[in-house]
Amino acid sequence: MPGGDFHPWYFAVVAVWVLVCGLGVVLFKKIMYSAVAMVFCFLGVAFAYALLNSPLVAIIQILVYVGAISIVVIFAIMLTEVQSGKLELFFNRQTAVAAVAALLGAAILAAVSLSANIGRISPLSKAPGLNELSRLIFSRYVFPFELVSLVLVAAMIGAIVLATRERERP
């Protein structure tokens, strides 16, 4: 198949992995379990990227998501550990409505996209390779690149400000 092979079995494995871990994130009662599920979900998505001929994105996914974001999330979980024995109320009206809405949303998205013509595949297309991506970053997309670094600086500063405890002034 053009644009890289579509290996159905590999796709099936990756898809199941990602979906199961995703469900795990939203359904576990203990937060730590959800965090772990999230890590595995990210890993699965990285594999998906690899399957889609985007090794650079896969590597960066692992570095950033699995390596950094997951750590941050786990730290946050540990810092805000709720007292043991206090489980959150899980099944209530909001949950049911949300479940219905989510299912409905998925179904509709699927139906819409099925009836539409978005799935056209052109024979010559493929994801850009590593050389090409590097060149693009520093030529065409250099401006957003710099802006994003600015955003990162701002985020860093903001996080530090927010996290600093108020010192008591004598």
Partner 1 sequence: MNALYWWLLLSFLLFCIGAFGVLARRNVILVVMSLEIMLNAVNLALVATANFRGGAKGAGTMFALFIIVLAAAEVTIGLAIVIANYRNRRTVQTDTYDELKG
Partner 2 sequence: MEGTQYMKIAVALIPLLPLLGFILTLVLGKRWGARAHLLPVALVTVSAALSIYAFVWSFTHQHQTFVWNAFTWIAAGRYTVPWGFQVDTLTGVMLLVVGIIGCVVHYYSIGYMHGDEGYYRFFAYLNLFMFAMFMLILADSYLLLFLGWEGVGLCSYLLIAFWFRKKSASQAGKKAFIVNRVGDFGFTLGMFAILVATGTLQFTGVFDKAAHGDIAAGTLTWICLLLFTGAIGKSAQFPLHVWLPDAMEGPTPVSALIHAATMVNAGVYMVARSYPLFIQSHTAMLVVMGIGTFTAILAAYIAITQNDIKKVIAYSTISSLGFMFLALGAGAWVAGIFYLFAHGFFKGLLFLCSGSVIHAMGGEQDMRKMGGLRKKLPITFWTMLIGALSMIGMIPFAGFWAKDEIVGAAFVHGYYVVWAVALVTVLLTGIYIFRMMFLTFWGENRSDAEVQAHIHESPAIMTVPLIVLAIPAALLGLVVGIPPEGGWLHRFLEPVFFDLEHEAFTWIGEGGALMGVSLILVIVGIVVAWWLYIRQPDIPGRIAERVPWGYRASLNKVYLDDIYAVVPVGATLGFADWLWQFFDAKVIDGAVNGVARLWGWIGDRLRPIQTGRVQNYAMYVFGGMVVLVVILAWVWGN
Taking the complex as a whole, how short is the minimal distance between the CB of residue 100 and partner 2, in angstroms? 9
Residues of this chain, 112-131, that bind partner 1 according to CB under 8 A: 113-114, 118-122, 124-128
Which positions lie near partner 2, rule CB under 8 A? 94, 97-98, 101, 104-105, 108-109, 111-112, 115
| Interaction of residue 18 with partner 1, rule CB under 8 A | yes
Which CB, 16 or 112, lies closer to partner 2? 112
| Interaction of residue 43 with partner 1, rule CB under 8 A | no
* Burial category of 113 from C-beta neighbours within 10 Å (exposed 0-12, middle 13-18, buried 19 and up): exposed
Which CB, 93 or 169, lies closer to partner 2? 93
Residues 50-69: x where in contact with partner 1 by CB under 8 A, - otherwise, as a string: --xxx-xx--xx--xx--xx
95/5 Cα distance (integer angstroms):
40
The single residue among 66, 138, 151, 168 that binds partner 1, judged by CB under 8 A, is 151
Q: Is-contact 73 38, C-beta < 8 A?
A: yes
The partner in contact with residue 60, picked from partner 2, partner 1, none with C-beta cut-offs of 5 to 8 angstroms by kind, is partner 1
The partner in contact with residue 50, picked from partner 2, partner 1, none with C-beta cut-offs of 5 to 8 angstroms by kind, is none
Which CB, 90 or 169, lies closer to partner 1? 90
Which CB, 128 or 168, lies closer to partner 1? 128
